[in-house]
Amino acid sequence: MTQMETTVNPEREIRYRRKKKRKTFDEMTYHFMLLPGMVMLFIFSIVPMFGVVMAFQKFIPAKGIFGSKWAGLSNFTYMFQLPDAKQIFVNTLVIAVGKIVLGLIVPIVFALLLNEVRLKAFKSTIQTVVYLPHFMSWVVLGTMLTMIFSFDGMINNFLEFLGLERIMFLASNDWFRPLLIVTDTWKEFGYGTIVYLAALTAINPALYESAAMDGASRWKQTLNITLPGMFPTIILLGTLSLGNVLNAGFDQVFNLYNPLVYETGDIIDTFVYRMGLINMQYSFATAIGLMKSVISFVLIVISYRLASRYAGYRIF
C-alpha cells in the first residue's frame, strides 16, 4: 500500500516531469548558444583539416581535391631529399629552443629582481613599461629593429664608438639567429614575468621572517625560499613550452628576414608560406605543414600529460 502511494504520488510526478522538462529546455538553450561558434569553427578550422589530403596528391587547383591525381608519399620523400628542408627543420629547432630557454630564464631573473623592490609605485611603473612591447606588432617592431640594427644604425654607431667593427646584423648568417632569439625575449619577458610575480605573492611571508630571525641574508633568502617557491611554476611553464618546439615565430621572422639570411633564418612556417602561397606548390607546402602539425600535436599532448602529472595542471 505504501509503495503504491509513492509511485503514483501525483504531486511528485508532476514535479519530476517539470524538472525534466526544464532540464531539456536548458540543454537546448546551451546547444543554441554553442551553435554560431561551432559553425564558424566547422567552416574555418575543421573543413581545412580535410585539405590535408592535398599532401598525398599532385594537387592542381583547376581540378580540385576530387579531380587531382594521388601521389602517395612522394611529396614527403621529396621533402626528405631536399637539402633545404633539413636546413629549415634545424633552423626552426635552434631558434625555437633558444627562445624557450632564454624566454624562461630572463623573466625568472627579472621577477626576482623586481621582488626585491619595496616601493610599490616604482614596481608597478616598471612592470607597466616592460610589458608594453608585448602589445606591439612585429610589423612595428620589425621596422624599429631594422632601423636600430642597420649598418649605420644606433647599435653599430655604438660599436664603432667602442672601437669595434660594424656588423650587418640583419644580413649576416652568424648574427641573425641570436638576433631573433634576443629580440623575441626582449619583447616578451615583461609579459612572462607576470606569472612568476603571482607565484611569488603566494609564498608565505612568515618563512622570510623566520629566516631573517635566523640571520639569513636577502641573498640566502632568495636562494632558499623564493627560488624553491617559484619552482612549481617554473616546471609548469617549462613543460608547457615543449609544445612550442616547432614554433619559431612566423611574424617575427617574416618581418625581419631577407633572402641573404634564408640559410639560418628560414623556418618551417615561412618556408610553407613561400612554397604554398608564393610559388604555388600547394601539395608540397601542405605536406610540410602537415608534418609540422602532427609533430606539434604529439608534443603538445605529451607536454600536457607531463604537466598534469607532475604539476597538477589541467586546462579544462
Partner 1 sequence: MIQSKSLGSRLSRLLIMFALILITFMSLAPIVNTIMVSVSSSTAVNAGRVYFFPVELNFSSYGQILNDTKFWRAFLISVERVVLGGAINMILTILMAYPLSRSVTQFRSRNTYMWIIVFTMLFSGGIVPWYMVISNLGLINSIWALVLPGAVPVFNVILLMNFFKGIPKELEEAAFIDGASPLKILLKIFIPISMPSLATITLFVIVGHWNNFFDGIILINDSSKIPLQTYLQRLSLTRDQMQNLSVEQLQQFNKISNTTLNSAKILVSMIPILLIYPFLQRYLIHGIVLGAVKE
CB of 6 to partner 1, least distance (A): 24
Shortest approach of partner 1 to residue 237 CB, angstroms?
Answer: 7
For residue 57, report the phi and psi dihedrals to the nearest 5 degrees: -125, 170
Q: Which is nearer to partner 1, 54 or 179 (CB)?
A: 54
Cell numbers that stand for 116 in this block: 626585491
- Strand extents, DSSP E, the chain: 57-58, 69-70
Closer to partner 1 by CB, 180 or 272: give it.
272
**Cell 624553491 belongs to residue:** 228
Nearer to partner 1, 5 or 217 (CB): 217
Q: How far from the centroid of its chain's Cα atoms is residue 283's Cα? A: 26
Nearest to 268 by CA among 281, 243, 287: 287
d(CA 272, CA 274): 6
Residue 13 CB, nearest distance to partner 1 (Å)? 20
- Can you read off the three cell numbers belonging to residue 8? 503514483
Question: What cell numbers appear for 177 in the block?
Answer: 639567429
Residues 6+ apart with CB under 8 A from 237: 104, 192, 195
Instruction: Mark 32-62 as b/e (b = at least 16 C-beta within 10 Å).
Output: eeeeeeeeeeeeeeeeeeeeebbbbbbbeee
Strands 57-58 and 69-70: antiparallel
CB of 11 to partner 1, least distance (A): 18
| Alpha-carbon span 185 to 205, nearest angstrom | 31
Distance CA 270, CA 217 (A): 50
In the bound state with partner 1, the residue whose beta carbon lies nearer, of 55 and 96, is 55
In the complex, least distance from residue 86 CB atom to partner 1, rounded to whole angstroms: 20
User: Toward partner 1, which CB reaches closer, 5 or 302?
Assistant: 302
Nearer of residues 96 and 141 to partner 1, judged by Cβ: 141
| 66 or 135: CB nearest partner 1 | 135
Rounded to whole angstroms, the Cα distance separating 61 from 116 reads 61
Q: How far is the CB of 68 from partner 1 (least distance, A)?
A: 12
Greatest Cα pair distance in the chain: 105
Residue 105 CB, nearest distance to partner 1 (Å)? 14
